[in-house]
Amino acid sequence: MDKASIKDYPRFKLGSAFTKEQHDFFNKHGFVHFTGVFSTEEVKELIEGYEEASKKLIASKDKMVNGIPVIFGLDENGHRIVQRFPYTSLWSDRIHQMAIDPRLQMFKNLLTQKTARVAEDERDGVVFNHYVNSKYSKFKQMGWHTDSLREIFFGKKVYETLNIGIYMDNSSAINGGLRILPGTHKQTLFGILFKKMYYRNTKADKDEVLVVASPGDVVVHHGHMWHRVGHSEHKDGTSRRRIMYIPVLCGPKQKPKMNGNNKKTPIYHHFQSLAKFDKVG
């Protein structure tokens, strides 16, 4: 599949094991899209889990979770919301149960390393992103980045990683969809570091592929891959786009972090402070 045809990439159904076609597609392009993995009721459960966890976090007045900054904002009604919530599964049993669901655990098999694991208490854990294009939102888009930057700043070998994205809302070009650069999961360390300016660069790339997804879809991408999130052309509640990311990590397990605000913030999160989260009005 060449660059022209990859823009109309195939969507798959998730079975009890990955097919050769699915493995080959992921290995070549660095991502794979499965439709209808989670039911409407299951998506509703995950959203309710996030909302319950958000209320607890806001009431706690914590600004970090295990040293990772939380991004807060206001929705279209002026209510405070959590727009980037790290370690969500540690605050919600509903989301924790999702993370240990066999349907997600099987994604470890996309990687060849035996140490591959779904990681709830490492790096940023399960992250819930809540994009809204409203006046006081702080999280409307995200510039180009790779997920492997955090691995580099831990000063250890850069192992393979995955991010499993579960979609709660429709995602498209008009509603701030995910854009990826297929094949960049095979780039060198130099490419991971310098191909683009992290977070500040929000410009479209001629080779990017738009991910069009529906609620309940799962899109998995390799951690070395360059990707960005566009901003919605809609406003307020119509622009809402919620997606949850579950990490799959390899290599030695990192020591679990403790709850609280007294943990040192990893250096890669200082790069995120450069992001143009609130550029769009």
132 part of a folded domain: yes
Instruction: Determine the structural domain holding residue 208 and report its residue range.
Output: 3-272
Is 278 within the bounds of a domain?
no
What would the pLDDT profile of 223-272 be if each residue is shown by its tens digit?
A: 999 999 988 777 777 888 999 999 999 988 876 555 554 466 655 555 55
Q: Grade residue 153 by pLDDT with cuts at 50, 70 and 90.
A: low
∠ CA 21-228-96 to the nearest 5 degrees?
Answer: 70
Is residue 160 domain-resident? yes
Mean pLDDT score across all residues of the chain? 87
- Report if residue 195 sits inside a domain: yes
pLDDT of residue 281: 31
pLDDT over 50 at 136, yes or no: yes
- Is residue 281 included in any domain, yes or no? no
In a domain, 168, yes or no: yes
CATH code of 250's domain: 2.60.120.620
Per the domain annotation, does 90 fall within a domain? yes
Return the sign of the alpha-carbon dihedral for residues 10, 15, 18, 21.
negative
- Asked whether residue 82 is assigned to any structural domain, the reply reads yes
- Total domains in the fold of the chain: 1
Give the closest residue to 20 by CA, choosing from 216, 101, 12: 12
